[in-house]
Amino acid sequence: MPALGRIVRTTAFKLSAIYIAVFSVFAVAFVLYISYTTNVLLTQQVHDTIAAEIQGLAEQGRSGGLAAVVRAIEQRTNQPGASLYLITDVSGQVLAGNISEVPSNLFQQSGMGPITVPYERNGEGVMKYAVVQILRLPGGFWMLVGRDVGEREEFRRIISQALAWAVALMIGLALVSWFFVSRRVLKRIDSVTETSRRIVAGDLSGRLEVTGTGDEFDRLAESLNAMLEKIEDLLHGLKDVSDNIAHDLKTPLTRLRNRVEAALAGPQSTDSYRATLESTIEESDRLIQTFNALLMIARIEAGSPDGAMTDVEAGGIVRDVAELYEPAAEEGGASIDVVAPNPVRLKASRELLGQAVANLVDNAIKYAPGPERTAPLKIVVSALREGDDLVLRVADNGVGVPAADRERVLQRFVRLEKSRSQSGSGLGLSLVAAVARLHHGVIELADNQPGLAVTMRVPVVAAG
Compute the CA torsion angle 124, 130, 133, 139 (nearest 10 deg): 20
Element (H, E) at 288: helix 270-301
pLDDT at 270: 77
Burial code of 251-271, b = ≥16 C-beta within 10 A, e = fewer? Answer: eeeeebeebeeebeeeeeeee
- pLDDT tier for residue 462 given thresholds of 50, 70 and 90: very low
Residue percentage of the chain with pLDDT more than 70: 81
CATH number of the domain that residue 453 is part of: 3.30.565.10
More confident site: 277 or 238 = 277
Boundary residue ending a domain (94, 126, 154) = 154
224 is a domain residue: yes
Domain encompassing residue 140:
11-154
What is the count of structural domains for the chain?
3
Boundary residue ending a domain (119, 154, 189) = 154
4 is a domain residue: no
For the purposes of burial, counting CB atoms within 10 Å of the CB of 456, is it exposed (0-12), middle (13-18) or buried (19 or more)?
buried
Phi, psi of 458 (to 5 degrees): -125, 125
What span, in angstroms and rounded, lies between the C-alpha atoms of 232 and 419? 31
179 is a domain residue: no
pLDDT digits (tens, 9 = 90+) for 298-341: 667 666 666 667 888 989 999 999 998 888 888 888 889 999 88
For 33-56, what is the mean pLDDT? 84
pLDDT digits (tens, 9 = 90+) for 54-79: 888 888 888 888 888 888 888 888 77
pLDDT at 380: 92
252 is a domain residue: yes
- Say yes or no: 446 and 430 in one domain: yes
pLDDT digits (tens, 9 = 90+) for 338-373: 998 888 888 888 888 888 898 888 888 887 665 555
49 Cβ neighbours under 8 A, 6+ residues apart: 83, 147
pLDDT at 463: 42
- Say yes or no: 51 and 102 in one domain: yes
187 is a domain residue: no
Alpha helix locations (H) across 302-427? 314-331, 350-367
- Say yes or no: 294 and 325 in one domain: no
> In DSSP terms, which residues pair with 457 in a beta bridge?
391, 442
> In DSSP terms, which residues pair with 84 in a beta bridge?
146
pLDDT digits (tens, 9 = 90+) for 145-198: 888 887 777 777 887 787 778 778 877 777 777 677 666 767 777 777 888 888
- Say yes or no: 112 and 235 in one domain: no
Q: Is 402 helix (H, G, I), strand (E, B) or coil?
A: coil
pLDDT digits (tens, 9 = 90+) for 378-420: 999 999 998 889 999 999 888 888 887 778 777 766 666 555 5
367 Cβ neighbours under 8 A, 6+ residues apart: 398, 399, 418, 419, 422
For 226-239, what is the mean pLDDT? 76
Supply the mean pLDDT for the chain: 79
What DSSP character marks residue 306? S
Residue percentage of the chain with pLDDT more than 90: 5
What span, in angstroms and rounded, lies between the C-alpha atoms of 100 and 141? 17
What DSSP character marks residue 399? S
- Say yes or no: 369 and 453 in one domain: yes
Closest among 165, 159, 149 to 116, alpha carbons compared: 149
- Say yes or no: 298 and 260 in one domain: yes
Let me know: does 140 contact 49? Beta carbons within 8 Å: no
